[in-house]
């Protein structure tokens, strides 16, 4: 049987995760294209792609499905470059951009008529970027939105959905405008809020730094996504202007309504406000993986003396337990610092936890 060839244009977090999922099928060959050779080298070393090239024509010539997985701005430029290249006759071009209406509009303008374009957006990600953070499980159980246009052949949509089943995501369809409104509310606007809240608190944080030090679980939970890639979110905001402006207006009204209750000292309705939110939040469908990806982090209290971090990494290294990140956090600053270790997988994390406990470290799943 002839192999299916998939081209992934932009081998980063999302492109790399799709590539890894595709590789679950041994009959699929994944060709990566990136403007950075070092990203391709890394992807090859990590076994994310079968072959890599910085030449777009070479990447797409044999592809049956092309994923545009670069940052949003570059999805536009790549779309324009496809016109004039030699492509397979029944090729499907799809993208993974976080916004849909403008990308789909542009694609319909510039894509040659014999090529099927189907907009796409996997609703899962991470505040990390780059192929190093890619995982074949990133999209598992997450929604994957497709936005076919009126003229798109159903057979081609089914072909794409079939291939996407390798990601184990739940494929759904909607029109691009509905996507931008819904995702604006549940993903784009929350990123604005998280960053605005962090900036507000940073402004309050005077010389003594008490705001940063007292920032507790609630603040950390609600602002986790403020650590996302600034350039990516800049582009998302610029691409989803209208829906975001409307949501921001509704938000301002909602905040004012609550503050009016506070002003009036209306205890019952303030409680009702929290109750209503809690009911909806608690009713959200549970996700094992997806929009909030599994992070295999452990926090370890470390006594404040030299060599302690080296001892921990040596202990883990000696047992071949792979870690992908280390961070020192000063939350228990009197005697202890907290060391955050990110492991490569659930099982590595569990092995690490057992080992460190054995050596009498205090180990936590969260701070």
Ligand X SMILES: O=C(O)C(=O)Cc1ccc(O)cc1
Per 3-state DSSP, what percentage of the chain is helix, strand, and coil (rounded to 5)?
A: 50, 15, 35
List the structure tokens of 103: 């990308």
| Beta carbons of 17 and 139 less than 8 angstroms apart | yes
Single out the residue of 124, 141, 142 nearest to residue 133, CA to CA: 124
Which of 157, 185, 291, 355 contacts ligand X by CB under 6 A? 291
* 229: CB partners within 8 A, 6+ apart: 127, 129
Residue 327 Cα distances to 34, 133, 340, 350, angstroms: 30, 16, 5, 19
What number of chain residues touch ligand NAI (CB under 6 A)? 29
Minimal distance in Å, beta carbon 340 to ligand NAI? 20
Question: What mask, x for binding ligand X by CB under 6 A, covers residues 205 to 234?
Answer: --------------------x---------
Q: Which does 291 bind (CB under 5 to 8 A by kind): ligand X, ligand NAI, none?
A: ligand X
Considering only residues 115-144, where is the footprint of ligand NAI by CB under 6 A? 122, 125-126, 129-130
244: part of which helix (H) or strand (E)? helix 241-264
Q: At what angle do helices 241-264 and 230-239 cross, to 10 degrees?
A: 100
The answer to whether residue 125 forms part of the interface with ligand X (CB under 6 A) is yes
The answer to whether residue 123 forms part of the interface with ligand X (CB under 6 A) is yes
Which of 36, 105, 109, 224 contacts ligand NAI by CB under 6 A? 36
The answer to whether residue 39 forms part of the interface with ligand NAI (CB under 6 A) is yes
Q: Which does 222 bind (CB under 5 to 8 A by kind): ligand X, ligand NAI, none?
A: none
List the structure tokens of 2: 């002839």
Q: Which does 321 bind (CB under 5 to 8 A by kind): ligand X, ligand NAI, none?
A: none
Based on CB atoms, which residue is closest to ligand NAI, 77 or 155? 77
Q: Which stretch binds ligand X (CB under 6 A): 22-30, 47-55, 78-86, 119-127?
A: 119-127
Single out the residue of 146, 76, 150, 156 nearest to residue 111, CA to CA: 76
Q: Which stretch binds ligand X (CB under 6 A): 117-125, 128-136, 256-264, 330-338?
A: 117-125
Residue ranges in the chain assigned as alpha helix (H): 13-22, 37-45, 56-60, 72-82, 101-110, 154-164, 176-183, 189-204, 210-214, 217-223, 230-239, 241-264, 267-282, 308-318, 346-358
List the structure tokens of 18: 């799709």
What number of chain residues touch ligand X (CB under 6 A)? 7
Based on CB atoms, which residue is closest to ligand X, 20 or 72? 72
Minimal distance in Å, beta carbon 92 to ligand X? 21
Q: Is 203 helix (H, G, I), strand (E, B) or coil?
A: helix
Which of 98, 116, 152, 239 contacts ligand X by CB under 6 A? 98
The answer to whether residue 46 forms part of the interface with ligand X (CB under 6 A) is no
Based on CB atoms, which residue is closest to ligand NAI, 79 or 339? 79
Neighbours of 54 (CB within 10 A): 14
Cα atoms in the Cβ-side hemisphere of radius 13 Å centred on 39: 21
Q: Which does 96 bind (CB under 5 to 8 A by kind): ligand NAI, ligand X, none?
A: ligand NAI
Residue 122 Cα distances to 19, 42, 67, 146, 191, angstroms: 13, 23, 12, 9, 17
The answer to whether residue 124 forms part of the interface with ligand X (CB under 6 A) is yes
Q: Is 248 helix (H, G, I), strand (E, B) or coil?
A: helix
Neighbours of 359 (CB within 10 A): 10
Q: Which stretch binds ligand X (CB under 6 A): 118-126, 264-272, 308-316, 318-326?
A: 118-126
d(CA 126, CA 291): 8
Q: Which does 363 bind (CB under 5 to 8 A by kind): ligand NAI, ligand X, none?
A: none
The answer to whether residue 187 forms part of the interface with ligand X (CB under 6 A) is yes
Minimal distance in Å, beta carbon 199 to ligand NAI? 21
Residues in touch with ligand X (CB under 6 A)? 98, 123-125, 187, 225, 291
Residues in touch with ligand NAI (CB under 6 A)? 9-15, 33-36, 39, 69-72, 74-75, 77-78, 96-98, 122, 125-126, 129-130, 232
């Amino acid at each position: 049987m002839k192999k299916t060839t998939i081209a992934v244009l932009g081998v980063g977090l999302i492109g790399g995760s799709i590539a890894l999922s595709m590789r679950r099928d041994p009959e699929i060959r994944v060709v990566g294209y990136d403007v950075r050779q070092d990203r391709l080298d890394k992807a090859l070393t990590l076994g994310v792609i079968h072959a890599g090239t910085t030449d777009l024509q070479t990447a797409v010539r044999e592809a049956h499905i092309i994923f545009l997985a670069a940052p949003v701005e570059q999805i536009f430029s790549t779309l324009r470059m496809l016109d004039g290249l030699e492509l397979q006759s029944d090729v499907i071009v799809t993208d993974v951009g976080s916004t849909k209406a403008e990308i789909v509009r542009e694609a319909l303008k510039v894509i040659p008529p014999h090529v099927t374009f189907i907009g796409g957006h996997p609703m899962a990600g991470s505040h990390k970027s780059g192929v190093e953070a890619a995982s074949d499980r990133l999209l598992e159980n997450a929604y994957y939105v497709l936005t076919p246009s009126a003229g798109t052949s159903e057979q081609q949509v089914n072909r794409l959905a079939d291939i996407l089943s390798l990601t184990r995501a739940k494929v759904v369809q909607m029109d691009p405008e509905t996507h931008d409104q819904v995702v604006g509310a549940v993903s784009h606007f929350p990123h604005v809020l998280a960053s605005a809240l962090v900036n507000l608190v940073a402004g309050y944080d005077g010389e003594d730094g008490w705001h940063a030090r007292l920032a507790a679980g609630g603040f950390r939970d609600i602002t986790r996504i403020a650590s996302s890639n600034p350039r990516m979110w800049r582009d998302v905001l610029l691409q989803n202007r209208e829906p975001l402006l409307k949501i921001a207006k509704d938000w301002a009204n909602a905040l004012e309504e609550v503050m009016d209750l506070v002003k009036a000292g209306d205890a019952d309705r303030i409680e009702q406000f929290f109750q209503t939110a809690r009911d909806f939040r608690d009713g959200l469908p549970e996700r094992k993986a997806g929009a909030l990806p599994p992070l295999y982090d452990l926090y370890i209290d470390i006594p404040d003396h030299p060599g302690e971090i080296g001892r921990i990494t040596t202990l883990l290294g000696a047992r071949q337990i792979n870690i992908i990140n280390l961070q020192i956090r000063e939350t228990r600053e009197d005697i202890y610092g907290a060391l955050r270790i990110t492991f490569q997988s659930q099982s590595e994390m569990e092995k690490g936890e057992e080992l460190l406990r054995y050596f009498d470290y205090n180990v936590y799943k969260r701070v």
